[in-house]
Chains A and B, each alone.
Chain A
Amino acid sequence: MNRFWAFVKKEFLHIFRDPRTILILFGMPIAQIMIFGYVVKNDIKNVKIAIYDKSKDNVTREITDKILSSGYFLLSEKLDSNNELERIFQKGEVKEIIVFEPDFAKRLENTNTANIQLIADASDANTANLIVNYTQAIIYEYVKSINENNSLAVQIVPEARMMYNEEMKSVYMFVPGTMALILLLISAMMTSISIAREKEMGTMEILLVSPLQPLQIIMGKVMPYIILSLVNAISIILLGFFVFDVPIHGSIILLMFETMLFIFLALSIGIFISTVSKSQQTAMFISIFSLMLPTMLLSGFIFPIKNMPLVLQWFCYIVPPKWFIIIIKDIMLKGTGLIYVWKETLILIGMIIFFISLSVKKFKIRLE
């Protein structure tokens, strides 16, 4: 056992002596959660808008009130002519102008249809998209509320959302996603790089010609990253909880158990990558292309899976973080127990067994 701990101690020395490793280990999680939490937000707040009401009747007033009381928008100006539209966007403060057509209420009553024009400042395409969608959602809500008391269904604006989460709270989404991404990167990428480094530097040759067992070498490599990943997972949850008010409705023990499970999965993937790569660079590229990109794009972290083409949706099933994100979301946001996530948990366990047995098969006790 002494042998093993000497190995673990050596691994920690490697980690703490390399500023880049330290930066990736501790800088990246905090930076990412902050970036995703604050900057790449999918929700909007106090966006300045202008309203050009050509009708000025009770319906347009009601809709205006609804929009302004939503908390997402602030009225910057009321406009009186078309000429002002250009000028107001050029000033750059107003991100959206809402235009009601003349005789809005009358048309709605007579033809059951009225038009609202939403003009967004699309120089920031993403934000523009978001703002328009939010506005549409509010108008849609309003239409629904009047239709409830009305036998004839009225129409104002066609619906076009679904790209955004129902709760309109993106931070909630980002905590599980970021956690999956960071655990995967740290556990898988860092272990694969550190094993590949032994090969690249030729030290693996000496380690092989020593009484160390392959399992001891692998466990010794993995041990420090288990501890560090756990520290990271906890700090992400705490950051989410205290800075972004992300609730933890479910059991913390279950949450930690699933997190540990995912860390093991990530490590087993890392070990597998290291068995197929000879240099640190290969290990890093394989990690980035096979782990980071799919996690960002195909795990449902940023883009909802149900909006993807069918073929990509199938592909999503083999992306490990997809299952972890589902589990974490269920536990943290919905407060569900193991009964609801046992399927996903089993999938994670299955993947661990798959990668571990593959790595054990591929681990070389010799040089060729």
Chain B
Amino acid sequence: MISVQISEIIKSYGKKIALDNISVSINKGELFGFIGPDGAGKTTLFRILTSLLIPNHGFAKVENLDVVKDYKNIRKIVGYMPGRFSLYQDLSVEENLQFFASVFGTTIEENYHLIEDIYVQIEPFKKRLAGNLSGGMKQKLALSCALIHKPEVLFLDEPTTGVDAVSRKEFWEMLKKLKNFGITIIVSTPYMDEAELCDRIALIQNGKILSIQSPQKIISEYKLPLIAIRSDDMYLLVKDLKNLDQTNSVFLFGEYVHFTSKLSKINIETIEAFLSLKGHTNIKFKNIKPDIEDCFMALIENDRMSK
């Protein structure tokens, strides 16, 4: 069953096109991720789906309600957590939760089972003002507030941006648990590692969707020969590798560069000889499996080539 249907949505701000003909169908109970860098159009899409913006073209339905015509009903059944922390900083944890419960015509007690796992972690601080919470705790509170009315669809716009690694992990574990309640969860994130935790993802770049798949499928479709390389001068390494004939792409990924070759099989010896000639020291090679980020980069490259 389809929970959210997005059909040929175009949205532009003046001359700048934020969303360029986007169509996605999201199933009920799915944990769906929109993965893409800042400025890809994720927030605009979320705002259209939560009835905050009107698309220039196309339509979208949430639980079979049109986001433009039925906006009043949509606002009753969705939970929305904007990218920026948007709770009342001068209200305490408890008061914030209480307020959002009342606004949606419910009580904390009624839906406590939904937020229990999350809320117990911030409950010791329930008298503290929301503005004084740490980043991770703020997000947990925001999630609790977005969940307190038992929404049918939950929209989380970059919920883990600016949150430490441990809290991010906890946050995703909570989302997995929420799936058990049958809530459709739509989440956006610039972090590629989070993509693998979704049921399906849409890779989005410059307002266009490059691929919609399960993360495993996207990775399995990755065919390029890939290897990780490092040396003492990483900056020069990237520069030099780009001048190599067999190079398809070179991207800096932390302490290694991910190198793909135009050849069907990477010839390590040739590369090492080339790099030594260029004066690189401490050259190391590492065999790696592609992750979502590699796939994303490859898809962007493809998209650029096809233009």
Residue ranges of A at the interface with B (Cβ–Cβ < 8 Å): 2-3, 5-7, 9-10, 13-14, 17-18, 201-203, 205-212, 365-368
Contacts and interface: CB of A to CB of B under 8 A. Distances in A.
Interface stretch (B89-97, B119-127, B227-235): B89-97
A211 B90 CA distance: 23
Interface of B: 47, 50-54, 71-72, 75-76, 78, 80, 82, 84-91, 95, 98-100, 102-105, 145
Given A201-B86, A203-B87, A206-B82, 15 more contacts: A6-B99, A9-B99, A10-B88, A13-B95, A14-B91, A17-B91, A203-B86, A206-B100, A209-B50, A209-B51, A209-B52, A209-B78, A366-B51, A366-B52, A368-B53
Given A10-B88, A205-B86, A367 B103 contact: no
Contacts of B51: 208-209, 366
A364 to B, nearest CB: 10
Given A209-B75, A367-B53, A14 B104 contact: no
A2 to B, nearest CB: 6
B102 A3 contact: yes
Contacts of B95: 10, 13
A205 B80 CA distance: 9
Contacts of A209: 50-52, 75, 78, 80
Given A205-B82, A206-B82, A211-B76, A7 B103 contact: yes
Nearest to A205: B82
17 contacts: A3-B105, A7-B99, A13-B91, A14-B88, A17-B91, A201-B86, A202-B82, A202-B85, A203-B87, A205-B86, A206-B86, A208-B75, A209-B51, A209-B75, A366-B53, A366-B54, A367-B53
Contacts of B90: 13-14, 17-18
Given A17-B90, A367-B52, A211 B75 contact: yes
Secondary structure of the A side of the interface? helix
Contacts of A365: 71
A367 B51 CA distance: 9
B52 A210 contact: no
Give the residue among B52, B85, B89 with the most A Cβ atoms within 10 A. Answer: B52
B102 to A, nearest CB: 3
Nearest to A365: B71
Contacts of B98: 6
A209 B98 CA distance: 17
Contacts of A206: 80, 82, 86-87, 100, 145
A201 B95 CA distance: 17
A17 B95 CA distance: 13
A317 B208 CA distance: 56
Given A10-B88, A202-B82, A208 B52 contact: yes
B78 A10 contact: no
B71 A201 contact: no
B103 A6 contact: yes
Nearest to B101: A6
Nearest to B105: A3
A366 B75 CA distance: 11
A367 B84 CA distance: 15
Contact of A10 (B54, B86, B91): B91
B130 to A, nearest CB: 11
Contacts of A2: 102, 105
Contacts of A7: 99, 103
Nearest to B82: A205
Contacts of A207: 103
Nearest to A367: B52
B80 to A, nearest CB: 4
A367 B47 contact: yes
B104 A211 contact: yes
Shortest 3 CB-CB contacts between residues of A and residues of B:
A6-B102, A202-B86, A209-B80
A368 to B, nearest CB: 6
A206 B149 CA distance: 13
A17 B79 CA distance: 28
A18 to B, nearest CB: 7
Contacts of B50: 209
A2 B90 CA distance: 22
Contact of B103 (A18, A201, A210, A368): A210
B82 A3 contact: no
A13 B75 CA distance: 25
A196 to B, nearest CB: 15
